[in-house]
Amino acid sequence: KKDGEGHDEL
Amino acid sequence: MNIFRLAGDLFHLISIFILIHKMTTSKSCSGISFKSQALYLLVYVTRYLDLFWTFALYNSTMKIIFIGSSAYVLHLMTGPFKPTHDPNIDTFKVRYLIGGAAILALLFPYKWTPAEVLWTFSIWLESVAILPQLFMVQRTGAAETITTHYIFALGAYRALYIPNWIYRYLTSTFWDPLSIIAGVIQTVLYSDFFYIYYTKVLQGRKFELP
């Protein structure tokens, strides 16, 4: 997953 | 999701619980920096805008808890417990923290979209948001033991994200350099506090600065 395509960490 | 991130988020929840428990049982917010608490609300509001367009049960629930609890803490500090808040010892110049985070967010976001710039702002702001609180402890030279447990848990939350990032890099070649750099800085800022906490509080003594 490339960065910036939605962040899955809090 | 991995055990490190789960433990980190758990420590984050614990820190919030300790803070609210301390304030409601002692009916006081003495020793707590309003500025740091206000910065945390700003961190959560700017980072969790994606609540509006993404949904994941765990993440969305936690985001709502973090935003709600930090707003509640600010309510307690400006409402019922306002008399116990002494702004004269909460003097850290947060404008430099906000300004610095804003500049970094405008210079190096992953993408120049409003959501990404705000997310980057939030990541950098969180890395320094504890400074007013640590500065207040420094100035008063001591802190209630419960407050040190709060700060420890808050520091442990992001510290545990570091093994999470290592784990994710090793297992899925995912990595988020902005979060990692800011997270390492954030954890380093706690290092002297961690040292004193470990040598003093965990030995059953009061938290006093040398």
Read off the pLDDT of residues B63-86 as tens digits, 9 standing for 90 and up: 999 999 999 999 999 999 999 999
Of the candidates B176, B123, B130, B125, the residue with the CA atom closest to the CA atom of residue B153: B130
Residue pLDDT, tens place only, B9-51: 999 999 999 999 999 999 999 999 999 999 999 999 999 999 9
Q: What residues of chain B lie within 8 A of the CB of A8, using their CB?
A: 56, 59
Residue pLDDT, tens place only, B192-207: 999 999 999 989 999 9
Using pLDDT thresholds of 50, 70 and 90, give the confidence band for residue A3. very low
What are phi and psi for residue B157, nearest 5 degrees?
-55, -55
Residue pLDDT, tens place only, B125-181: 999 999 999 999 999 999 999 999 999 999 999 999 999 999 999 998 788 999 999
Provide the Cα torsion B147, B33, B191, B179; round to 10°. 120
Interface A–B counts its CB contacts (< 8 A) at 29
**Cβ–Cβ below 8 Å for B176 and A6:** no
- Taking residues B103-126, what's their average pLDDT? 97
Q: Tell me: pLDDT of A1 over 60.
A: no
Q: What is the pLDDT of residue B56?
A: 94
Q: Is B208 helix (H, G, I), strand (E, B) or coil?
A: strand
Q: What residues of chain B lie within 8 A of the CB of A7, using their CB?
A: 47, 50, 119, 176, 179
Above 0.95 for ipTM, yes or no?
no
What token pair was written down for B135?
A: 């500065």
From chain A residues 1-10, the ones with a CB under 8 A of any chain B CB are: 1, 3-4, 6-10
Nearest residue of B to residue A9 by CA position?
A: B59
CA B76, CA B71: separation in Å to the nearest integer?
9
Q: What is the pLDDT of residue A5?
A: 61
Q: Is B153 helix (H, G, I), strand (E, B) or coil?
A: helix
Mean pLDDT of chain B: 96
The strand pair at B207-208 and B142-143 is best described as antiparallel
Task: State how far Cα B24 lies from the chain centre.
Answer: 20
CA B120, CA B186: separation in Å to the nearest integer?
14
Using pLDDT thresholds of 50, 70 and 90, give the confidence band for residue A2. very low
Which of B5, B119, B177 is closest, CB to CB, to A7? B119
